[in-house]
Structure 1
Amino acid sequence: MFQATKFLTILLLILAVTLGLHIGVLYLMDLPLFSDKIVLSYGVNFLLAAFIYIIIQQILKNNGTYAGFVFMAGSALKFVIFFTVFYPSYNQDDVMQKTEFTAFFIPYAVCLILEVTYLSKQLNNQPYSPKNSQDPATSNSEEKKS
């Protein structure tokens, strides 16, 4: 649970700083600060990243072989959310503006980078268990011992 809390805290802090920088750039470019569902985008990306991370944490405790599949399913979920919640309003005028694209893509990319970084560290620290392996050499040597 400590790792999840650490991840969520770092994710929240980095997203808050990124949102501040994002709004600062919009201000300097004299663009609307809170348009394009920017706050909703940062919030949804945080919640999705947190949900996916916690689910994968639980899977790693039980059987880490499914972690990659769950991660891919989580990525698919993010795209479904984008195309149902954000895309319709972004594409109302049949053109996706740069500000609309960046309002979703920047928090998405930040969350993805942090998720991959933390989960890859955890996967690299997973103990190897021969009974979960499908390696023929291992299973043959075990059969010979019996």
Structure 2
Amino acid sequence: MKNISFLGRCLILLSLVLSISFGIHALLRTSNGVSPFGDLLIWSYLTNLALAFGIVVFIHSLRHKMKTQLGFLFIAGSFLKFLLFFIFFYPSFTEDERISQSEFSSFFVPYFLALLIETYFTAVLLKNLEKENPL
């Protein structure tokens, strides 16, 4: 896996973890008598995959130009993900005036997993930058 690019490894790990989680998530929903693909589950996983990878790509592309602002870019990416959640997902979750546990987990399970991987790859990127140009 060393011959695969940094971004390739990120995309593979994101896809693998989120795919496995999606399968488990759909099975758990089925076993609890809930529609396996309801609550925008597919869109939630795909959106979190795309946004997490997009943020890592964005940070990676600016790693030399904006080295001292990468942390702020990472935080801005997290803010963007929450903003998109409240614009696109939250309204459909609150149609019945309360958010159920399955609706909550439909967004925040993939969000949390993607955030962990995004954080890991951002940390690796920052560590590699430090190796390239130590202070």
Give yes or no for TM over 0.5.
Answer: yes
Q: Distance in 2 between matches of 1:100 and 1:57?
A: 32
User: Unaligned 5+ residue runs, structure 1?
Assistant: 131-146
- Aligned residues of 1:37 and 1:103 also touching (Cα < 8 A): yes
Partner of 1:133 in structure 2? none
- Choose which of 9, 12, 16 in structure 1 pairs with 2:12: 9
Q: Distance in 2 between matches of 1:47 and 1:26?
A: 23
Q: Does 1:41 align with 2:39?
A: no
Q: Distance in 2 between matches of 1:122 and 1:78?
A: 21
- Aligned residues of 1:59 and 1:66 also touching (Cα < 8 A): no
Q: What is the CA-CA distance between 1:129 and the residue it aligns to?
A: 5.2
Q: Deviations over 1:14-33 (max 9, x none)?
A: 11000001011111212111
Q: Deviations over 1:24-56 (max 9, x none)?
A: 111121211111000000011011011100000
Give SS of 1:36's match.
coil
Q: What is the CA-CA distance between 1:116 and the residue it aligns to?
A: 0.6
Give SS of 2:62's match.
helix
Query: Max radius of gyration: which structure?
Result: 1
Matched length: 130
Q: Deviations over 1:48-105 (max 9, x none)?
A: 0111000000111333111111111111110110000000010111100000000000
The alignment yields a C-alpha RMSD, in angstroms, of 1.4
Q: What is the one-letter code of the residue matched to 1:64?
A: K
Q: What is the one-letter code of the residue matched to 2:19?
A: A
Q: Does 1:53 align with 2:85?
A: no
Q: Distance in 1 between matches of 2:111 and 2:134?
A: 34
Asked which structure has the greater RCO (Cα within 8 Å, sep 6+), the reply is 2
Percentage of pairs with the same residue: 32
Q: What is the one-letter code of the residue matched to 1:85?
A: F
Q: Does 1:88 align with 2:121?
A: no
User: Unaligned 5+ residue runs, structure 2?
Assistant: none
Q: What is the one-letter code of the residue matched to 1:65?
A: T
Q: What is the CA-CA distance between 1:125 and the residue it aligns to?
A: 2.3
Q: What is the one-letter code of the residue matched to 1:31?
A: V
Partner of 2:68 in structure 1? 65
TM-score normalised per structure 2:
0.91
